[in-house]
Structure 1
Amino acid sequence: MAESVELVTQPSIAPNRGDVIAAILVGGIGVTQVVAMPLLANLVAETHHVSGVESGLVGLANLLGTAIGSLFVTVWLGRLPIRMVSFLAAILACVAQFSVALMPGFHGAVAMEALAGFGAGILLALSAAIVGASSNADRGFAFILTLQAVVAVIVLLGIPAFANVSTLVPVVAFLAAVQALMIPVTWMLKQDPVTADSQAEGAANNSAFHPAIILKASSYFIFSAAVGVLWVFSGVLGSLAELPDGVIGQALAVGNVAAIAGSLLAALITSRFGRVGPVLLVCVTVVVSITLFSEHMGAGTFYAASSLFLFAWGGGLPLMMGMVAEVDPTERVTSLLPVLAFAGMGIGPALVSIIPEVHGLFRQVSVTTIALAVFSFILFFAAHTLWRGSESRFPE
């Protein structure tokens, strides 16, 4: 008995404030490649004189590389020397990103983009695992999402300024330079593997495969799919409503500011208002935003709709990441959250085609988004109830 008590009370190697700050910086800057893809993929295709359709291979390669990097972290999380691995991953991300411009052929550029994604995937997964193991994961995730939104604005404004029809060097040098900021930050991280800053709440809960953990991760994935639909189709819906491209771009820029506000609000409230209420409010906000999109909407309505869904996106993701982290004792599922978000954003828009075209794109987008938002909350509520029930059966 004495030995078992000693094991439970033994201090864990939990991330300190410096680790968490470094992880937030890495997670925020590590998304550089992902937010650059809408512009970078086309530039790579144009430089190598391939069709616009083939430009999708650039984004696909980067996403697959990111997924494999995150899976690598998930499998080896408990054994990885954090500082060294993150340092090497940051260098790989920068060197591979710059090498995209040095490849003589299109497929070589795609391969380099996959390698760059692999390095970024490692960094994003380590960031999520470290923040998830901290004592206030909600706030840490909210700051990551805030920084990611800021980086997105910088990257999307910077790429057109560096774009050159004859060479990719200025653009990839710019992206590599942004990512290079992570290299010195990685040395702020501890060398030890990630260990959660919480005690097991009973043998039944001490597993990454507890049904509540899987359900909450699924809820996060479905929510990402819902907002992904709006992100992909909002500009198209604005064009169908005959709004000028300038108005659409400005509205989405304002929406990114709203996303930052949503993330900061999530950082302030953390879990003090419980989980059910804030998550329900986020899902309702997404539903309300899609009802504002219509064929006859004006610029003001488009501004409001875009700001609402991006506000919900910015505030909802950190809340949902925090709800997974609080029930994940191994941090393995938590380390996969960045990939789940990107996968959801990719799959969500593809589901729109399931709705018959006869109803029009506005109805297709509306039905798909509402169904995904409602399903996300149902999964979350089921997971929340299941976890609380298991806590009552296996108290500390």
Structure 2
Amino acid sequence: MVMPPETEKRTQPGQLELIAAILMGGLGITQVVAMPLLATLIASAFQIEGADSGLIGLANLLGTAFGSLLVTVWLHRLPLRRTAIVSALFAFAAQIAVPFITDFTGIILLEALAGIGAGVLIALSAAIVGASANPDRGFAFILTLQAGVAVLVLLVIPFLAEAYSLLEVMVFLASTQALLIPVGLTMRHGPIAEKALKTSEASGSRFQMTLLLRAASYFVFSAAVGVLWVFSGILGSMAEIADAQLGQALAFGNVAAIAGSLLAAMITSRFGRLAPILAVCLTLALSALLFTADMALMQFYIASSLFLFAWGGGLPLLMGSVAAADSTDRVTSLLPVLAFAGMGVGPALVGLAPGASGLFQQVSYTTIGLVVLAFCLLVSAHTGPNSKKYIG
């Protein structure tokens, strides 16, 4: 990886701190991946129906985004150890309190608070890994852990909900946040050191444009995978595939996501980023074309596995690209917010796909269009005057 010549060498995290950051990023996402099931359980327990049940997940996601934004603003002032421990305690206490609250408004507030704690942990994780010698590898390990956590959560929560009650479900989720309390003890006492810039006005402007283009590529790619994440199950149902089989296929696809993330961790030092990201984009586009109205179960398995493989492999590569060009780590710490925002924006664009007839074509056209745009933005970040200085 070639560091931008305009910046002083960054203070890299130690090995133990880097492992702790990967654990924070991997486990901190637990409540987000659990939300499709958790929101339903909480709404059922409080006899909430209709659109109001969506407020649970919305509150948690907004809280997560807000927590990440707090880190972005005060990154170089936050004492890492204290912030990590307090945030983990915050997320743990908020989730464990949910079964004991009788007011639905209180539940919404608690989920927002839990999201804030998780958002801080996720953003700190991104900033620390982004400052490491090989951020692509660190991000790949985070995505691998997140995919493993998603599989575990999707299997355990239905079992606990059926055999026990909401209390046991919340204890299970809160325990993952509790694990991060001792992890926080491995953080340094002080904040991430801010790096001084040594740039001319022209090169500084070019450097900022490169960073923005890379961040925009990451956002658009997140929007593309968000389209398939939201609509893959719906398209499977429209193709008359049973719900149980859809769930099994998506769980199997998360194993493919783990494989994609591990592969990304292995290849960046050998092949750079542009060629692997092009391969990821082509894979994602192919998966979108495989979601068809007449697809059988095996075709759905292949389509969802390719899609999740591309997701698991593409995100760490793009995150590493941003980190390589980020001289302050602030934009890197904002990556979780960009991912959540992108995954929300992408599905909203499906109805705007030009020339598409029916949902299957709308999903395919939207996904492919976003993938092409994401790669073009990344290529733009590697071209122009003095572009060799910024290749990473």
Using the size of structure 1 for normalisation, the TM-score is 0.92
**How far, CA to CA, are the matches of 1:85 and 1:356 in structure 2?**
47
Task: State yes or no: 1:320 paired with 2:332.
Answer: no
The amino acid across from 1:170 in the alignment is E
Identify the match of residue 95 of structure 1 among 93, 96, 113: 93
4+ residue segments displaced more than 2 Å: 8-14, 164-168, 195-209, 355-358, 386-392
The amino acid across from 1:99 in the alignment is A
Identify the match of residue 133 of structure 1 among 131, 134, 140: 131
**How far, CA to CA, are the matches of 1:158 and 1:40 in structure 2?**
12
Q: Name which of structure 1's ranges 371-380 and 381-390 shifts more when overlaid on structure 2.
A: 381-390
The amino acid across from 1:132 in the alignment is G
CA 1:275 to 1:287, structure 2 compared with 1: closer, same or farther past 3 Å? same
Aligned residue for 1:67? 65
Identify the match of residue 105 of structure 1 among 103, 106, 123: 103
**How far, CA to CA, are the matches of 2:206 and 2:39 in structure 1?**
36
**How far, CA to CA, are the matches of 2:87 and 2:206 in structure 1?**
25
CA shift for structure 1 position 53: 1.7
Aligned residue for 1:381? 379
CA 1:82 to 1:202, structure 2 compared with 1: closer, same or farther past 3 Å? farther
Note if contact 2:123-2:333 (Cα within 8 Å) is conserved in structure 1: yes
Residue correspondence of structure 1 range 137-286 to structure 2 within 5 A? 137-163=135-161, 168-195=166-193, 210-286=208-284
Aligned residue for 1:3? none
Aligned residue for 1:5? none
**How far, CA to CA, are the matches of 1:205 and 1:341 in structure 2?**
28
Q: Unaligned 5+ residue runs, structure 1?
A: 1-7
Instruction: Provide the secondary structure at the position in 2 that maps to 1:344.
Output: helix
Note if contact 2:76-2:194 (Cα within 8 Å) is conserved in structure 1: no
**What do residues 140-162 of structure 1 show as CA deviations (whole Å, max 9, x unaligned)?**
00000000001111111111111
**How far, CA to CA, are the matches of 2:263 and 2:234 in structure 1?**
29
CA 1:43 to 1:209, structure 2 compared with 1: closer, same or farther past 3 Å? farther
Aligned length: 386
CA 1:198 to 1:316, structure 2 compared with 1: closer, same or farther past 3 Å? farther
The amino acid across from 1:113 in the alignment is E
Note if contact 1:89-1:122 (Cα within 8 Å) is conserved in structure 2: yes
Instruction: Provide the secondary structure at the position in 1 that maps to 2:271.
Output: coil
CA shift for structure 1 position 42: 1.0
CA 1:372 to 1:123, structure 2 compared with 1: closer, same or farther past 3 Å? same
CA 1:103 to 1:293, structure 2 compared with 1: closer, same or farther past 3 Å? same
Residue correspondence of structure 1 range 24-35 to structure 2 within 5 A? 24-35=22-33
**How far, CA to CA, are the matches of 1:198 and 1:135 in structure 2?**
18
Note if contact 1:26-1:127 (Cα within 8 Å) is conserved in structure 2: yes
Aligned residue for 2:3? none
CA 1:270 to 1:357, structure 2 compared with 1: closer, same or farther past 3 Å? closer
**What do residues 281-323 of structure 1 show as CA deviations (whole Å, max 9, x unaligned)?**
1111110111111111111111111110100000000000000
CA shift for structure 1 position 49: 1.0
**How far, CA to CA, are the matches of 2:385 and 2:275 in structure 1?**
17
**How far, CA to CA, are the matches of 1:289 and 1:225 in structure 2?**
15
Note if contact 2:8-2:195 (Cα within 8 Å) is conserved in structure 1: no
**How far, CA to CA, are the matches of 1:229 and 1:328 in structure 2?**
28
Identify the match of residue 291 of structure 2 among 281, 293, 312: 293
Note if contact 1:133-1:195 (Cα within 8 Å) is conserved in structure 2: no
Note if contact 1:15-1:194 (Cα within 8 Å) is conserved in structure 2: no
**How far, CA to CA, are the matches of 1:246 and 1:303 in structure 2?**
13
Note if contact 1:207-1:328 (Cα within 8 Å) is conserved in structure 2: no
CA shift for structure 1 position 341: 0.8
**How far, CA to CA, are the matches of 2:204 and 2:152 in structure 1?**
41
Instruction: Provide the secondary structure at the position in 1 that maps to 2:348.
Output: helix
Using the size of structure 2 for normalisation, the TM-score is 0.93
CA 1:193 to 1:206, structure 2 compared with 1: closer, same or farther past 3 Å? farther
CA shift for structure 1 position 163: 1.2
Note if contact 1:255-1:310 (Cα within 8 Å) is conserved in structure 2: yes
Note if contact 2:10-2:131 (Cα within 8 Å) is conserved in structure 1: no
The amino acid across from 1:137 in the alignment is P
CA shift for structure 1 position 270: 2.1
Identity of aligned residues (%): 59
CA shift for structure 1 position 10: 8.6
**How far, CA to CA, are the matches of 1:208 and 1:125 in structure 2?**
26
Note if contact 2:139-2:319 (Cα within 8 Å) is conserved in structure 1: yes
**How far, CA to CA, are the matches of 1:335 and 1:30 in structure 2?**
14
Q: Name which of structure 1's ranges 380-389 and 183-192 shifts more when overlaid on structure 2.
A: 380-389
**How far, CA to CA, are the matches of 2:19 and 2:195 in structure 1?**
16
CA shift for structure 1 position 13: 3.7
CA 1:9 to 1:359, structure 2 compared with 1: closer, same or farther past 3 Å? closer
CA 1:117 to 1:78, structure 2 compared with 1: closer, same or farther past 3 Å? same
CA shift for structure 1 position 164: 5.6
Aligned residue for 2:113? 115
